Amino acid sequence: MRFHALDGLRGLCALVVALVHLYEMMKVPPPEFVGHAFAFVDFFFVLSGFVLAHAFFDRLALQGGGWAFALRRFGRMYPLHAFILALFVAVEAAKWFAARHGVAMLAQPFANETSLPALASNLLLLQSLGLHDRLTWNFPAWSISVEFYVNLLFCLVMVLPLRGAGDRGAILRNKTWLVVALAVAGGVATLWATRYSTAMSYDFGLPRCIYGFFCGVAAQRLRAGGLDPFARLSRRAISCWEVGLTLVAIGFVTFAPWFWLFALSPILFSLTTLVYAHEKGPLSRLLLTPPLRAIGEWSYSIYLVHMFLLIHVFGRVATMIGKKGLLGLHAAAGADGGDYVAGLYLQGPVMLAGVVVAYVALVLLASSLTFRFVEKPARSYFNALAARMESRRGDIRARRLATAARRMQAAE
């Protein structure tokens, strides 16, 4: 079962995150809701935990298969990350080559955020484990770094045997309590880390991800165990809860101080995920329309692609426009792409809307292409590898059972 409404919601949240980085590039104060959209990363963590628990909790806890799960997650997350990172590296290499031939650069290639040590940590998905004092290379990929390892932690918790666990129901209950313990531990560690960080990304992204991800897993266990608070409500009641929780979430993200965003977002987003999973409210029906379903499918690409487009496509086009004195811009010494984009953005509501529409259209177009030509083929390839691994594992188990049966017959 796929939760298409939740996919659509994730796509919209990814677009808002992309808008955050547009404002940061322009150095223009964003609206409060957009400025606090970093909290939507916690929604991504919650949704990841919810969806993976729905698909794999029982299977991993009762049947194992951790290597196949890890291979699927690698195929889902790493290929697009590697592709976008390669684009950034190609640009840095071109800048390095140009600098060697006397071209003046505003920033030195392979330095600071794009250093070679940072490239190594990005290749190993280690860039958000406190190794650097800033975000590096493709900034949004910090969350992919921690989410991949938290996915492996989930897998480890699921496949490790529990002594004296008993029957199937006891195993699932005990695993559920472990999940709850991890969510609580992640929450405590996150609140502790807020004393030392306001970013909670490149430095303390791991506890933040553990908190959100295992809150999502816990929400799925409520649903699976018949304890979903929305399960017995009428369609009208679920619709009211859906609209109400959405308004609360919007208000919370807009007005809550950053400490409370980190403290309560995973809990609020877990409730929101539960209600949207029913797909019975008016907002869910809107998210099930073809355009928003498409945006939901492209959400991972939107999240990882937009920073490269913003810096190396959108910003550079604006720079060329500014240097040619078009659209009311004027060339300025030392101005970068963000300055020229801001110059367009601040010219009034028509140009402001034009900048946002052009940027969103560019992100959606590129995301549709990377989804089709990078994400889907890579996912299919690694899923096929995982399926063959599971098939071989099943064959080995069957042979072992047959051998054991023959031995018992011989002993009799």
- Tell me the pLDDT tens digit for each residue of 239-255: 999 999 999 999 999 99
% of the chain beyond a pLDDT of 70: 94
Q: Cα(first)–Cα(last) distance of the chain, in Å?
A: 46
Closest CA to 79 of 381, 331, 340, 354: 381
- The chain-wide mean pLDDT, for the chain, equals 89
**pLDDT band (50, 70, 90) for residue 394:** low
Amino acid at 287: L
Q: Would you list the DSSP string of 356-410?
A: HHHHHHHHHHHHHHHIIIIIHHHHHHHHHHHHHHHHHHHHHHHHHHHHHHHHHHH
pLDDT of residue 375: 95
pLDDT of residue 81: 97
326 pLDDT exceeds 90? no
405 pLDDT exceeds 60? no
% of the chain beyond a pLDDT of 90: 61
**pLDDT band (50, 70, 90) for residue 187:** very high
pLDDT of residue 153: 96
Angle, vertex CA 138, rays to CA 132 and CA 140, nearest 5: 90
Domain ranges of the chain: 4-411
Model confidence, pTM: 0.92
Flag the least confident range among 69-83, 90-104, 214-228. 90-104
Is pLDDT larger for residue 107 or for residue 155? 155
pLDDT tens for each residue of 26-73: 888 888 888 898 899 999 999 999 999 999 999 998 888 889 999 999
**pLDDT band (50, 70, 90) for residue 396:** low
409 pLDDT exceeds 60? no
pLDDT of residue 368: 96
Is pLDDT larger for residue 112 or for residue 378? 378
Biggest CA pair distance of the chain: 94
Q: Classify the C-alpha dihedral 148-154-158-159 as positive or negative.
A: positive
CA distance linking residue 27 with residue 61, whole number of Å:
48
pLDDT tens for each residue of 136-149: 999 999 999 999 99
Flag the least confident range among 89-98, 293-302, 307-316, 327-336. 327-336
- Establish how many alpha carbons lie within 13 A of residue 156's alpha carbon, considering only the half-sphere containing its beta carbon: 7
**pLDDT band (50, 70, 90) for residue 410:** low
Which tokens belong to 333? 């010494």
DSSP 29: P
Identify the three-state secondary structure at position 55.
helix
Which tokens belong to 329? 């811009």
